[in-house]
Amino acid sequence: MYKIGHIAKQLNVSTDTLRYYERQGLLQASVRSPAGYRLYDDSALEQMRFIVRAKAVGFSLKDIQELLTIKIDKHNHSCEEVKSLTLQKLTQTRQRIEELLKFERSLSVLAERCCGGEESADDCSILTALEDVDGSA
Amino acid sequence: MYKIGHIAKQLNVSTDTLRYYERQGLLQASVRSPAGYRLYDDSALEQMRFIVRAKAVGFSLKDIQELLTIKIDKHNHSCEEVKSLTLQKLTQTRQRIEELLKFERSLSVLAERCCGGEESADDCSILTALEDVDGSA
DNA sequence: CTTGACCTTGAACTCAACTCTAAGGTTTAT
DNA sequence: ATAAACCTTAGAGTTGAGTTCAAGGTCAAG
Ligand SMILES: [Zn+2]
Ligand SMILES: [Zn+2]
Ligand SMILES: [Zn+2]
Ligand SMILES: [Zn+2]
């Protein structure tokens, strides 16, 4: 049985994060010590590892809640549900990437054209582009 | 002189957004009508266009505040300042894209391997990958 | 002279994922 | 026996960009 600080160090998260996840229903401590300390067993540690890995591939805590619900009772859930969550997250991620790539392209065009010199910004091409009706954005 | 709703429609934002930007110091109404209504002139409209364009290339409201400070007194600011803001935002954007691309790659590997069928998730490769110490994340 | 569309304010609420604070109890080592 | 290093709680604060609410004032048309 591990105390919260031990789990926190193992998984490189804060104790606050662990308590927060508990409030969010993601990970309950296995038992409490007589003094009220949270005590985690190996399966709790494994569950926390699952959470951390799911975060590392881009799932939100809300997604992870759903994944855990399935994982805890795999037999009554299907591959289809899991894949659907994954594809949904993939689509979201790709959309966000597309948006950011547009930003990236606009910003690099703006940056390329500006001389970046120490003289006054009176004729700065970046400001001009943002002012003009036909900006390159 | 235009009322807030007119500006909002022109620029496809809500009146709440305009009031919010005012609180944030981004755009003051030019004057108030006797009844207290915000009245905007063409230069205010132009300034709002600038803000909208800057948002459209990925600048945050905080960035835009700095850009406006420079734009309003170009003569006492340099190209270098503007370019620096732009490059900083570009770097941030690229970092975020890198992070999301990692998510994207992990998620597509996970999704590819899962059959997505209606049978039970007992052997779902996605769950297995997130459980195992050597997940493909 | 009333209806409906528009405008005002301040304050609270939203989302996500924590982080921090205060005030206190417990354990361990010296 | 006391200090350091843990742990507990409820609740508030953070960030960013708004949105929503309640309660009311104003303006043009019919
Ligand atoms: Zn220049
Ligand atoms: Zn420039
Ligand atoms: Zn399957
Ligand atoms: Zn599967």
Q: What is the mean pLDDT of chain B?
A: 96
- Flag if A93 and B75 touch (Cβ within 8 Å): no
> Which top CATH class is A1-58?
mainly alpha
Cα–Cα distance for residue pair A42/A31, rounded to 1 Å: 12
Q: Which residue of B has its CA nearest to A97?
A: B97
Say if residue A132's pLDDT is above 90.
no
In Å, how far is A1's CA from the nearest CA of chain B? 20
Q: Is the CB of A24 under 7 A from strand C?
A: no
| Mean pLDDT across B86-103 | 98
Cα–Cα distance for residue pair B94/B97, rounded to 1 Å: 5
How many angstroms does the Cα of residue B81 sit away from the middle of ligand 2? 8
User: Chain A contact for B103, CB < 8 A?
Assistant: yes
User: Chain B contact for A56, CB < 8 A?
Assistant: yes
Tokens of A19: 């308590």
Residues in chain A, total: 137
Contact between B50 and B65 (Cβ < 8 Å): no
Q: Which residue of A has its CA nearest to B101?
A: A97
pLDDT for B40-90, tens place per residue?
A: 999 999 999 999 999 999 999 999 999 999 999 999 999 999 999 999 999
Cα–Cα distance for residue pair B114/B126, rounded to 1 Å: 6
Give φ, ψ of A26 to 5 degrees. Answer: -90, -35
- Flag if A58 and B118 touch (Cβ within 8 Å): no
pTM (2 decimals)?
Answer: 0.92
As beta bridge partners, residue B78 has: A120
Q: Å from B36 (CA) to C7 (C1')? A: 8
Say if residue B30's pLDDT is above 80.
yes
